[in-house]
Structure 1
């Protein structure tokens, strides 16, 4: 994907991220930095500390220095890009920021000290290829940031996955990620791979209504080559806009033809479907789900074993 913002956000709270420390949160709490969804703003809300902001805001500095917050990634991995979103902060945003990543026991630079704009998604490409577990946001000298997005590819601990045995091969936290899709009109297909059940229709993937003879689809990379044994296609919350049917295909390499894992099968609305796949399908590294003709799905789970353990 050319836009790194289409990759999973490894820091989001619903992926398991947490803001473990901040030197100051006098006006607005640090935990807001990693909330799912965009920041919201109500001009009428004021509290004991002043204007209520959906973000992290520090006091005005009266001495040299900077403010900082440290985020533990919910899914450690390789970071491809960072967004420092100053939404709704217009006269109180930090003029500059930098971001470092913790690789092992060493902080490495991800975004050098760079200028920021207020009320803006400030976007930064990241070239580091190291596995990052935490990120440190530094703002100069002070101010407010609405959201910190850390987009990339999860790289799980291989010893943990090996000990677990059968795992969800598509889960973001295990290294799965969407590589392409036909349509993301209403919501991102990366939502399909988030941990836990969807809590509303807005937490799934939904396409626009098709007015042609085609169908919608999504392709994803698994954590590693693996044999998929159980597929879970969850249409929870999609009452009148679930796909009528779906199919799954897989392949081990990009130059291989897609082969059938699950034939086109009818789906019910607002239902968690589980299908046992034949063991003869063999290992795959990529999976394509076709939905007919369009609609929404809450989650896609692909449980199996890695090829070396199958």
Structure 2
């Protein structure tokens, strides 16, 4: 399997919004942005044909090509894209290109998102008035391979001239028609910290505020990025879940404080977008009813420019504490000082977390991008 070269970056398209699509005949364009892995159901059909887990347009019989406009879930600087044609083995888009723009105002587009339909003349006119064909080309017209296991994953860096620019919207061009299972747009979140009051409380580790996992020990059932998303978790698939710890003892025993004596654990380290002062931690195990962690530990550190994670001196924010299934846990913190740059969440011995929040206020200086 091809390794994702952009795995250390945030998927800016997650929770994005499709604003326009020329055609939604076999499957609406919203499927393209789903964060779950695409699936195959051999027996599933709709009134319009074979159901596919992705955005698939009808076979074009008119002039032009299919295209759509997407508002990114998170605005930021794009570095690369992952285009997945999974299961589209005779109906994949043969060529694709991507364009992007930074727009400060919402586009006046009305979206229907209805299978078996195409854009009306009125919708085409409104979308055409946006002028998206003039947006920056971040990926020139590029061929795609069919969605077999060995050929489905396509990883492309964006055009160098577009690096370092902030983008909020994408135009997706199918040449001329067909289907793509998933589009993931990788980059770093851009946030104007001058608009944040020093006393305003916010989620320090949220993706939208520049939080990003920089190290983790296990992500067998779900990436740590999931638990940093703004919206509530939609299910177990929408959180961070590890494999069962293979080193767990054959018989569990408790210590004097009622915690299990366990030789192993799993952890994730999250870099903040800005140095900040932590005040409250939320551990949400929603949906994890038989696979929640027995307990968790939350620590923090301060790294200055040039220091690495190996140099970190970790300090406890929330001492190891037992967890309950399917529940939001809130904890006050100890320490935090004048600000922290990284947070480490450790789960014992393993398990799943739906959402992880660390609320606090701004510190004094911005975290170095070289950490």
Residue 29 to residue 101, structure 1, CA distance change in 2 (3 Å)? same
The match for 1:183 among 218, 224, 234 is: 218
Residues 6-34 of structure 1 deviation map (CA, whole Å, 9 limit, x = unaligned): 53322123xxx101112233332122211
Q: Secondary structure at the match of 2:10?
A: coil
Gaps spanning 5+ residues in structure 1: where?
none
Pairing partner for 1:114 from 126, 142, 155: 142
Give the corresponding residue for 1:95.
94
Partner residue in 2 for 1:8: 10
CA RMSD after TM alignment: 2.5
**Does 1:220 pair with 2:270?**
yes
TM-aligned CA deviation for residue 135 of structure 1: 1.4
More strand per residue: 1 or 2? 1
* Cα distance, 1:189 vs structure 2: 1.1
TM-score, normalised via structure 2 length: 0.75
CA distance in 2, matches of 1:280, 1:37: 35
Deviation at 1:218, TM superposition (A): 0.3
Range moving further from structure 2, 45-54 or 295-304: 45-54
In 2: Cα distance, 1:56 partner to 1:72 partner? 16
1:71-126 deviation per Cα after TM superposition (whole angstroms, max 9, x unaligned): 10111112232112222222221211111221358732322221101111222123
- The aligned runs of 1:46-85 (5 Å cut-off) are 46-62=45-61, 65-85=64-84
| TM-score with structure 1 setting the length | 0.89
Task: Tell me how far apart the structure 2 counterparts of residues 70 and 83 of structure 1 sit (CA, whole Å).
Answer: 17
The SS at the match of 1:4 is coil
Residue 293 (structure 2) pairs with residue 237 (structure 1)? no
Cα distance in 2 for partners of 1:258, 1:107 equals 45
- Per-residue deviation at 1:260? 2.3
Shift of 1:291: 1.7
Partner of 2:350: 294
- In the alignment, which residue of structure 1 is the partner of 2:329? 273
Q: Secondary structure at the match of 1:5?
A: coil
Matched residues, number: 306
**Cα separation, 2, equivalents of 1:34 and 1:141:** 20
Residue of structure 2 in register with 1:136 after alignment: 171
1:225-273 deviations in Å (ceiling 9; x for gaps)? 1001001112222233322222222122144422222222232333211
1:202 aligned to which of 208, 225, 237:
237
Task: Call closer, same or farther: CA 1:279–1:108 in 2, change over 3 Å.
Answer: same
Q: Residue by residue, what CA displacement relative to the aligned partner does 1:267-302 show, whole Å, maximum 9, x if unpaired?
A: 233321111114653301111112222222111101
Greater CA deviation, 128-137 or 240-249?
240-249
Closer, same or farther in 2 for the Cα pair 1:71/1:275, shift >3 Å?
A: same
The Cα shift of 1:48 comes to: 3.5
What residue number does 1:250 align with? 300
Residue 202 of structure 1 aligns to a residue whose secondary structure is helix
Q: Secondary structure at the match of 1:232?
A: strand
| Residue number in structure 1 paired with 2:255 | none
Distance 1:168 1:73 in 2: 20
- Does the aligned pair in 1 maintain the 2:300–2:336 contact within 8 Å? no
- Look up the match of 1:156: 191
Matches of 1:12 and 1:164 in 2, distance apart? 29
Q: 1: CA distance between counterparts of 2:46 and 2:348?
A: 50
Provide the C-alpha distance between the structure 1 equivalents of 2:41 and 2:4, rounded to a whole number of angstroms. Answer: 34
